[in-house]
Amino acid sequence: MKRFLKSLLAKYILIILIALFLFQAAYITIVIVFFNLMGDPDSPGNGQESYDEIEENWHQEASQIISEDTIAHVFEEWQEVYPNASMFWVDGDGVLNLQSNLQENLPDEWNVTYTAQFLKNHYDEDPFTVVAFVGGHEEEGFIVFQLPRDMLKSEGQRLNEEYGWTIVILTIGVVFLFIFLSLWFFRGIRKRLVHLQEAMEIRDTDGLPILIEEKKQDEIGDLEKSFNRMVQELRESREREQEEEQLRKELIANLSHDLRTPLTKINAQAYTLQKMDLPTEAKRSLKLTSTSIEDVDRLIENLMSYTLLMASKYRKDLKEINIIRFLRQYLAAWYPVFEKEEFEVDIDIEAFEQNKWEIDPLWFSRILDNLLQNVLRHATDGKYIAVWTESTEHYDAIVVTDKGKGMQVDTEQKGAGIGLSIVDMMVKGMHLDWEIDSTEKGTTIKIIRMKRAGN
């Protein structure tokens, strides 16, 4: 019940009820104030009396009259109270004796016929006419009081005429009040809904919606509550996912760490042995051991990267990099390695039209690492590596070429496959393209950035 009282439905019902009450109250008031008064035309006003009282008083005044002077006096008194009234006396001889403010054309001599005619004409007509015998006896004649009926309209009728417009205005006012209240009510709802919608659109730094303030305990309040619950659930699920991701990463990192530690120990032993005075055969074996250790190390690294890439969990941070500058510095680190292996190194890096590439430098290094390691591992026969830039109308490219025996012949080293898969995923992950052309005379790999319109 408490909840219902706080609901929007309850509020709306309240508005409707208020409106209905106001309509009813207005009509009842109107009925009481106006029609009640109009329905009672005898109600008094301005010190004047109702028809019945006039009639009664007139009769009473008439019965108390004793002389002609008294009649004149009565006429004077009544004329003060009813200035519009007309009065006259017809005495016992049928002569129009005394008159006051007489409007009608009346004969001086009244016979029985005319008297009956007069009474007949004025019974319950306008003007309101009262006839009373003087002193209570027909011998003294009779006095007549006449008053135009509109002089004695009821209070209600007069009010209706004077203030009728207020009824209309009040009615319109009530209608407008109802419209205003309804609008005000719906405006409030609309405002809250719009506000809610805006609040729902706001995203936190982690891309999730933020909690919104729960203001009232009504239907919209329930909606806000549900939304907050949903956000909470989303957050929890995101946290769980992140925890899982963290566990997964930790697992992979720990696994690779645990694999590499014994590898380092083997390497240490091999190195120590190599320093000793050993037969050539044994030295050759140790050299092979070292090479194998390096291969296994690279495989572990690639496997780790591959797993993370497949699960889209490999950290990527794209930024605008001057690719030419980056490439030169990168190759400066690799040059000594090729130099040591007595490769012919041919580097020709020319600035592109657009040197800013949107890449993750670590990813790009990883791609080139894999390509150059492949050259070092599988194309040693050629003793040649060239890195250069190529620019055409449609694309800019970085080209790596060797003079090895090509990929197809290379059946022993399947590990190169995973290295190139990583290259493929990373190149595409940075919205670049790549091409590989491998023959028995060498391999050429291009990392391509297509030129877009306006670039």
Partner 1 sequence: MAKTLYIEDEKEIGQWVTEDLTGRGHDVTWLTSGNQLEQYLNNIDLAILDIMLPGLDGFSIGKRIKKANQDTPIVMLSARSAVEDKLEGLSFADDYVTKPFHPDELAARVDALLRRFQKEEGILEIRHLQIDTKSLIIINKQTEKEILLTGKQYQLFQYFLRHLNQILTKEQLYEGVWGERFMEGDKTLMVHIRYLREKIEENPAKPTIIETIRGIGYRVKK
What whole-number distance in Å separates Cα of residue 383 and Cα of residue 13? 91
> From the CB of 347, what's the least distance to partner 1, in Å?
3
Summary count for the chain: helices (H), strands (E): 12, 11
The CA distance from 57 to 78, in Å, is 10
Q: Looking only at residues 25 through 44 of this chain, which bind partner 1 when binding is defined by CB under 8 A?
A: none
Nearest-angstrom CA–CA distance, 72 and 78 = 10
Which CB, 64 or 329, lies closer to partner 1? 329
Q: How far apart are CA 98 and CA 89, in angstroms?
A: 5
Considering the rule CB under 8 A, would residue 304 count as an interface residue with partner 1? yes
346 interacts with partner 1 by CB under 8 A: yes
Instruction: Please report whether residue 325 would count as binding partner 1 according to CB under 8 A.
Output: yes
x/- map, 377-416, partner 1, by CB under 8 A? ----------x-----------------------------
CB 449, CB 434: distance < 8 Å: no
Instruction: Work out whether 428 is an interface residue with partner 1 (CB under 8 A).
Output: no
Q: What are 226-232's contacts with CB under 8 Å, separation 24+?
A: 227/196, 227/200
- Select from 45-53, 166-174, 324-332, 441-449 the region that touches partner 1 (CB under 8 A): 324-332
Residue 247's closest CA among 313, 316, 315?
313
The reply on whether position 272 binds partner 1 by CB under 8 A is yes
Residue (of 218, 196, 224, 191) closest to 10 by Cα position: 218
289 binds partner 1 (CB under 8 A): no
Six-digit token string for 394: 């449609």
Q: How many CB atoms lie within 10 A of CB 438?
A: 18
The answer to whether residues 339 and 380 touch, using CB atoms and an 8 Å cutoff, is: no
Q: Which residues pair with 402 in a beta bridge?
A: 385, 443
Pick the piece of the chain touching partner 1 (CB under 8 A) from 126-134, 193-201, 343-351, 426-434.
343-351
Contact at 8 Å (CB) between 436 and 443?
yes
Give the one residue of 66, 193, 268, 450 binding partner 1; rule: CB under 8 A: 268
Among 45, 136, 164, 336, binds partner 1 (CB under 8 A): 336
> CB of 89 within 8 A of CB of 97?
yes
Binding mask 245-264 for partner 1 (x = CB under 8 A): ----x--xx--xxxxxx-xx
Neighbouring C-beta atoms of residue 224, cutoff 10 Å: 22
- Residue 320 binds partner 1 (CB under 8 A): no
- Minimum CB separation of residue 271 from partner 1 in Å reads 6
Q: For residues 92 and 361, which CB has a smaller minimum distance to partner 1 in the complex?
A: 361
Tell me how far, at minimum, the Cβ of 215 lies from partner 1, in Å. Answer: 42
Residue number with CB closer to partner 1 (224 or 301): 301
**Can residue 354 be called a binding residue for partner 1 (CB under 8 A)?**
no
C-alpha to C-alpha distance for 223 and 366, rounded to whole angstroms: 49
Under the rule (CB under 8 A), what is the footprint of partner 1? 249, 252-253, 256-261, 263-269, 271-272, 293-294, 297, 301, 304, 314-315, 324-325, 328-329, 331-333, 335-336, 346-349, 351, 362, 387
